[in-house]
Amino acid sequence: MAYNLKVSIDKDSGFCFGVVYAIDMAEDILEEDGYLYCLGDIVHNDEEVKRLKEKGLRIIGHEDLPNLKNEKVLIRAHGEAPETYKIALENNISLIDASCPVVLKLQNRIKSSHDEDEKILIYGKHGHAEVIGLQGQTNQEAIVFQSMEELQGMDIPEKFTLYSQTTKSTDQFYAIKNELIEKGYDVKANDTICRQVSNRYNDLENFVVNFEKIVFVSGKKSSNGKVLYEVCRASNPNTFFVSDPKEITADMFSVNDRVGICGATSTPMWLMEEVKAVLEAF
């Protein structure tokens, strides 16, 4: 039986400029040198990482950096903490700095706040590379939290400056800010969410209502992927989260379904095209 699915890809989905910049930089060097070290996954998308590894990209962890000398190492869009720059200098490592300008600006703002002795709270995911880089600007003094529940048992200052990881949900950020103010804290709040992510909310909401089913393509580790998937699901409950085209099976669909494909800021367009080809073959 042919499913005859009518499949469209959201033209506004796919890499943000920060990811495009990092991948372009990596590909230029790979073409010239044949290999390049990258500190952490260059992008939170296993399929794209696999493609670049095949071209010579060598992913290393922070524990590997002190053992490397006289090499080039790419810093991905998430940015790094000052400690990484220090180690690179000591080991004669040339850092190819592809930190996204939006993240760098946020790092600088947090550093200025810290230099002015402000107490700092960062709404972000524990252990996320960007958040580690942000906290690093404060000598690890900033408090990182993922939810209001987490703050409940903590000893937090009466007055503080609030920042957000760039890929968090704006709705949740403002809900947290308002709740903290209601609880009596003196909060200087900075909405530092990247517009490359939040500007997609409306576009996605408008896109997903045109289809019976939505295939949202994203790496499982992508923070903005989780946020944007929830945005899609709120407007179209028949939204599937897919990381690999192999996860898609025909029984997810009905004959003649209109299917929309969209993704995160770390989802390559070629992967969405592959998903489209799989769907069209059912």
Active site residues: 130
**Phi, psi values for residue 55, rounded to 5°:** -90, -5
CB of 266 to ligand SF4, least distance (A): 8
Measured over the CA atoms of residue 22, residue 25, residue 31 and residue 32, the dihedral's sign is: negative
Is 164 near ligand SF4 (CB under 6 A)? no
Is 187 near ligand SF4 (CB under 6 A)? no
Q: Which is nearer to ligand SF4, 42 or 259 (CB)?
A: 42
Is 103 near ligand SF4 (CB under 6 A)? yes
Q: Which is nearer to ligand SF4, 19 or 232 (CB)?
A: 19
Is 17 near ligand SF4 (CB under 6 A)? yes
Q: Which is nearer to ligand SF4, 78 or 177 (CB)?
A: 78
Contact by Cβ (8 Å): 264, 224: yes
Give the C-alpha separation, 141 to 212, whole Å.
48
Among 77, 120, 189, 242, binds ligand SF4 (CB under 6 A): 77
CA distance between the termini of the chain: 8
Is 279 near ligand SF4 (CB under 6 A)? no
Task: Give the interface segment with ligand SF4, choosing from 28-36, 191-199, 206-214, 274-282 (CB under 6 A).
Answer: 191-199
Residue the block writes with tokens 């957000």: 164
Q: Which is nearer to ligand SF4, 44 or 119 (CB)?
A: 44
Q: Which is nearer to ligand SF4, 137 or 265 (CB)?
A: 265
74 bridge partner residues: 38, 96
CB of 75 to ligand SF4, least distance (A): 12
Is 166 near ligand SF4 (CB under 6 A)? yes
Report in angstroms the alpha-carbon separations of 179 from 122, 211, 236, 259: 15, 36, 29, 39
Among 100, 151, 272, 275, binds ligand SF4 (CB under 6 A): 100
CB of 104 to ligand SF4, least distance (A): 9
CB of 101 to ligand SF4, least distance (A): 7
User: Closest Cα to residue 145, out of 168, 118, 171, 126?
Assistant: 126
Amino acid at 63: E
CB of 76 to ligand SF4, least distance (A): 9
Q: Which is nearer to ligand SF4, 84 or 196 (CB)?
A: 196
Q: Provide the binding-site residues for ligand SF4, judged by CB under 6 A.
A: 16-19, 77, 100, 102-103, 166-167, 194, 196-197, 224, 265
